[in-house]
Amino acid sequence: MVLGEGEMYERSSDGGWLVPLGFATTVSMWAVAYVGRLPFVTAPSWLIGLGMLLVVVFWGWRTGTWVERGLVSGAKIGMVAAVLNMLILGSFLSSSEQPGLVPSALWWIPGSLVVTALIAAAAAHFAGLGAKREPPEWAGLLSKVALGATFLLVVAGGLVTSNESGLAVVDWPNSYGYNMFLYPISKMTGGIYYEHAHRLFGSLVGLTTVALALYLWRRDGRKWVTALALTSVVVVVIQGILGGLRVTGNFTLSTSAQDMAPSIALAVLHGVLGQVFLALMASLAVVTSSAWGRATLKDSPEGGALDRQLQAFLIGTLLVQLVLGAVQRHIAWGLVIHITMAAVVWMLASVAGARGWWLWPDFSAVSRFGKAVLIIAGVQVLLGITALAVTAGDAVVGNPGLFEVMATTAHQACGALLLATSVALALMTRRS
């Protein structure tokens, strides 16, 4: 049976814009802050702040072009973003001398709420003076925001591993005895920044996933989509726990390294599940997209059944390769097997991608995803060769330089992207 047969996708009502736009603003602001504070970037604080404010202006402007009552609507999305930003604001307002907030937090917290709301409101108001544009499918937008946040988290996790910073923070769920959300920004240097920022981003992804599940539960009439969203919540919770236990080995509030039992096995599992979770979020982004809603159940081109089988085999092979890659990355075992499987994956992805691109011209989404799979697979091979050259197949490269870090992280992220895109291709092929 064709997936989704006989179902009509209902667009969200006009009242469904607040959560998607609020989270879109927040995730974009966090992305700017994360990149700006990377140790190899270290942008000035004023520049990072300006970038974050420009993000608020951008999403406020988009709100004004899509939603009525721009002034009020903009203020609302700014307020949502400011509330969500409390997850990181505490790091800037925490005392570096002892756990707790500095006295100025009493005016910084309400001030951030007011300023963010005012900027978004002003941008939305002026944008609303012009012509309105047709808004996106709100559920689709929120799903894409969740997907983008998850991909950034995968990249952040890759940077943690590439910089050998997985154990830079010895305890969990606290950070050196501090509440995770109150660990001072002044102490986030070097490897600690990579690891702690990864934890913070993980909390945002978890919150975004919960928001998406609740949103779809309330607004999407398809029970299987709601079930898929609820599954994503379960997976992200498990993933967060695995990430913590990878550091501690057990549930403890101790801050002593002697009480910890770091687990390489859990590190491998954490890395694998992270990419599987990305594919799950890609699935939600596909089935809530306007392309999915517009898809008509036409007759598949000749060989359509073969394409579906080929794509399923590609995904299964990618999952095996994902495990092999995680093992190689953490303990440098199975390099020859990993390389051999890479050749198999590349051939399967090339054939599946090319067939989707060339044989499904009447199905634009299938054609686009097929082209993407073909291109990403080629890029991944080049990145794999580069990563092998800079690491010589070792899991630990001593004091990794910037090029080593970027090459290995890009290879991991591209692999995750290939899996997610292959899943998207398979879903759209079955929908068509």
The pLDDT of residue 31 is 98
Amino acid at 30: W
List 175's β-bridge partners, or say none: 178
Spatial contact of 176 and 169, defined as CB atoms under 8 Å apart: yes
The pLDDT of residue 3 is 40
Domain ranges of the chain: 13-135, 139-294, 296-432
The pLDDT of residue 259 is 92
The pLDDT of residue 100 is 78
pLDDT in tens, 208-265: 999 999 999 999 989 999 999 999 999 999 999 999 999 999 999 999 989 999 999 9
Please list, in sequence order, all residues whose beta carbon lies within 8 angstroms of the beta carbon of residue 241, skipping any fewer than 6 positions away: none
Tell me the two tokens of residue 264.
């390489």
Q: What is the DSSP string of 219-274?
A: H---HHHHHHHHHHHHHHHHHHHHHHHHHHSS------GGG----HHHHHHHHHHH
Residues 125, 134: Cα–Cα separation, whole Å: 17
299: pLDDT confidence band, cut at 50, 70 and 90? low
Q: What is the mean pLDDT of residues 23-43?
A: 97
List 178's β-bridge partners, or say none: 175
The pLDDT of residue 303 is 67
The pLDDT of residue 361 is 83
Residues 70, 89: Cα–Cα separation, whole Å: 27
Q: Say if residue 327's pLDDT is above 60.
A: yes
Q: What percent helix, strand, coil does the chain show, rounded to 5?
A: 75, 0, 25
Q: What is the DSSP string of 97-121?
A: SSSSB-TTHHHHHHHHHHHHHHHHH
2: pLDDT confidence band, cut at 50, 70 and 90? very low
Spatial contact of 139 and 104, defined as CB atoms under 8 Å apart: no
Q: Say if residue 7's pLDDT is above 70.
A: no
Q: In Å, how far from its chain's centre is CA 155?
A: 8
298: pLDDT confidence band, cut at 50, 70 and 90? low
> How far are the Cα atoms of 64, 140, 148, 348, 422 from residue 279, in angstroms, in the given order?
32, 16, 12, 18, 9
CA angle 14, 19, 24 (to 5 degrees): 115
Burial-class residue 194 by CB neighbours within 10 Å (0-12, 13-18, 19+).
Answer: buried
